[in-house]
């Protein structure tokens, strides 16, 4: 039994490390790009780019019918069975639906351009900008379908290479354009980046599964089951994108582009970058959880194991982020972004809650309860928007950080309470212990930011970070014998 537990830990740690490592590399490269863009465009330019990117994501998620998500499960099943003929045919189904959703997304972006301009901006007419962004929406849809094929056929190495090359392409494309054209280059950069990612993805997927037109007639009629599976996931993503677009539009109208740029920088550091530890969820954890969905004990063990490893990996990073933000913000962006430090520090606390919520949230998806998943996600986003508006009105930019943490607390209570009653999910004593200790360290680190400065700040803060890191390394070493294996390989 102990050996099985060790192997389980090693499996979760291995794949979390692989996917998280690739995401971490992408983040480091993205930070270089973000730093240069911050210097070239400033807060207002970054705010404008954030608005356009958020809108493109919203339109894309509203029109892609969940193909990129639901297709993975079907491709994976056929791949495991070894039915090459059926697999090749279903790939044609995916590509047919991807092309259809691409055309639909482009059309929607063009038609609703004037409406988006009116609701997103309080100044000027940006309808033409949204129309020019329509090709990006179409290319994102095609990329999603081809990515689903690569995931389903376990071509994770190709996906990792694509992600790295896409970030390099984004750097090569965006910096020269922003240098010469400034904010005018934002729309072309978004379109060219979507094109680069699509070409890289298609290149790999076509090698794995060549493009064939023969036998494609009538494939759209065969994809309804796939589409139905992705509808709830899509609707939840649409609501999420809509809430993000709403709060960014709210900041732009009530505040200004500078305020929006500051918020986006803080959000990027705390929410987006911490998500690299969660990148293994969809590729590895979700299929494993689906396989034991009908066994309550096995489900609890699978969820708790993933939560333990994620908590141990993420907690030292979060404590370090809270303490180091006064240095990281000007280093990664510029001194203009220093006002976002306090907002980002309080928002970082939300990630402790996220790591204890996301693994549980996947139970609903694994069991196929799409309406329940949609209800839970919608409830969170409604709470997030309301708390965000209240927080900004009361405390300004700092209040948005408070709102993020309170919204995640609401989600934690809602999702775990629902799973407790509906599925019989229970936290293990081990998870509870790690959560109390690591979250407590995070809260102490945050308390230091409020009460100390100078040498006391860095001394106590650094001590707390080392305490969190030491605890995590000790537990992982004890449960996986990781370091002995590494030393054996090296020597």
In which region does residue 120 sit, left (phi positive, over 0), alpha (psi from -120 to 50) or beta (all else)?
A: alpha
Q: What confidence tier does 26 reach under pLDDT thresholds 50, 70, 90?
A: low
Quick one: average pLDDT of 296-318?
A: 87
Q: Are 309 and 16 in contact (CB under 8 A)?
A: yes
Q: What is the CB neighbour count within 10 angstroms for residue 210?
A: 9
The whole-angstrom separation of Cα 206 and Cα 190 is: 24
The whole-angstrom separation of Cα 268 and Cα 176 is: 23
Q: Strand, helix or coil at 124? A: coil
- The backbone torsions φ and ψ at residue 205, rounded to the nearest 5 degrees and listed phi first, read -70, -35
Helices 370-395 & 224-254 angle (0-180, nearest 10): 10
* pLDDT tens profile 126-167: 678 888 889 999 999 999 999 888 887 877 778 778 887 888
Percent of the chain with pLDDT over 70: 81
What distance, in Å, lies between the first and last C-alpha atoms of the chain?
30
Residue 286 confidence (pLDDT): 67
Residue 14 confidence (pLDDT): 62
Residue 486 confidence (pLDDT): 43
Cα distances (angstroms) measured from residue 406 to each of 126, 299, 347, 353, 385: 34, 28, 9, 10, 11
Residue carrying structure tokens 């740690």: 13
In which region does residue 310 sit, left (phi positive, over 0), alpha (psi from -120 to 50) or beta (all else)?
A: alpha
Q: What confidence tier does 272 reach under pLDDT thresholds 50, 70, 90?
A: low
Quick one: average pLDDT of 93-120?
A: 84
Residue 163 confidence (pLDDT): 80
Residue 274 confidence (pLDDT): 66
Residue bearing the bigger pLDDT, 44 or 427: 427
The whole-angstrom separation of Cα 223 and Cα 175 is: 41
DSSP state of 217: T
Q: Are 61 and 138 in contact (CB under 8 A)?
A: no
Quick one: average pLDDT of 68-86?
A: 76
Of 261, 314, 273, nearest in space to 27 by CA: 273
Residue 22 confidence (pLDDT): 62
Q: What is the CB neighbour count within 10 angstroms for residue 300?
A: 19
Q: What confidence tier does 293 reach under pLDDT thresholds 50, 70, 90?
A: low
Of 391, 270, 392, 401, nearest in space to 325 by CA: 270
Helices 67-81 & 134-152 angle (0-180, nearest 10): 20
The whole-angstrom separation of Cα 208 and Cα 205 is: 5
* pLDDT tens profile 216-252: 555 666 767 677 667 777 788 778 878 887 888 888 8
Q: Strand, helix or coil at 296? A: helix
Of 108, 76, 75, nearest in space to 92 by CA: 75
Lowest mean pLDDT among 188-192, 207-211, 254-258, 287-291: 287-291
DSSP state of 185: G
């Amino acid at each position: 039994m102990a050996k099985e537990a060790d192997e389980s830990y090693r499996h979760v740690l291995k794949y979390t490390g692989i996917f998280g490592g690739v995401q971490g590399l992408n983040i480091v490269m993205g930070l270089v790009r973000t730093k240069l863009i911050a210097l070239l465009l400033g807060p207002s330019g970054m705010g404008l780019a954030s608005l356009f990117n958020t809108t493109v994501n919203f339109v894309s998620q509203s029109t892609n019918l969940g193909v990129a998500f639901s297709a993975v499960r079907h491709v994976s099943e056929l791949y495991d069975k070894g039915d090459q003929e059926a697999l090749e045919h279903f790939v044609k189904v995916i590509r047919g639906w991807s092309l259809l959703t691409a055309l639909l997304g482009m059309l929607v972006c063009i038609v609703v351009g004037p409406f988006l301009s009116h609701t997103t901006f309080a100044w000027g007419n940006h309808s033409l900008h949204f129309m020019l962004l329509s090709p990006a929406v179409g290319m994102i849809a095609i990329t999603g379908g081809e990515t689903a094929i690569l995931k389903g056929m376990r071509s994770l190495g190709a996906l990792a290479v694509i992600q790295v090359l896409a970030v390099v392409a984004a750097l090569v494309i965006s910096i020269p354009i922003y240098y010469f054209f400034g904010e005018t280059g934002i729309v072309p950069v978004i379109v060219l980046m979507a094109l680069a990612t699509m070409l890289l993805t298609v290149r790999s997927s076509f090698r794995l599964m060549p493009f064939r037109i023969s036998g494609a007639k009538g494939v759209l009629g065969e994809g309804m089951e796939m589409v139905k599976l992705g509808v709830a996931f899509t609707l939840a993503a649409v609501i999420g994108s809509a809430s993000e677009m709403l709060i960014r539009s709210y900041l732009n109208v009530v505040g200004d582009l500078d305020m929006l740029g500051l918020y986006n920088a803080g959000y990027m550091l705390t929410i987006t970058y911490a998500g690299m530890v969660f990148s293994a969820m969809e590729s590895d954890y979700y299929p494993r959880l689906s396989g034991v969905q009908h066994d309550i004990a096995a489900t609890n063990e699978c969820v708790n194991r993933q939560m333990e490893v994620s908590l141990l990996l993420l907690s030292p990073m979060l404590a370090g982020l809270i303490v180091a933000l006064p240095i990281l913000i000007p280093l990664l962006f510029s001194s203009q972004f220093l006002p976002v430090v306090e907002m980002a520090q309080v928002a970082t606390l939300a990630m402790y809650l996220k790591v204890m919520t996301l693994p549980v949230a996947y139970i609903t998806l694994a069991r196929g309860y799409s309406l329940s998943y949609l209800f839970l996600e919608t409830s969170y986003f409604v709470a997030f928007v309301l708390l965000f508006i209240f927080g900004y009105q009361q405390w300004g930019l700092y209040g948005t950080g408070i709102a993020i943490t309170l919204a995640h607390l609401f989600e934690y209570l809602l999702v775990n309470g629902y799973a407790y009653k509906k599925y019989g999910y229970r936290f293990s004593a081990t998870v509870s212990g790690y959560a109390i200790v690591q979250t407590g360290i995070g809260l102490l680190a945050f308390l230091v930011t409020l009460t100390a400065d100078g040498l006391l700040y860095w001394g106590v803060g650094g001590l707390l970070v080392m305490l969190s890191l030491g605890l995590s390394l000790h537990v992982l070493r004890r449960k996986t014998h990781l370091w002995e294996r590494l030393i054996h390989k090296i020597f």
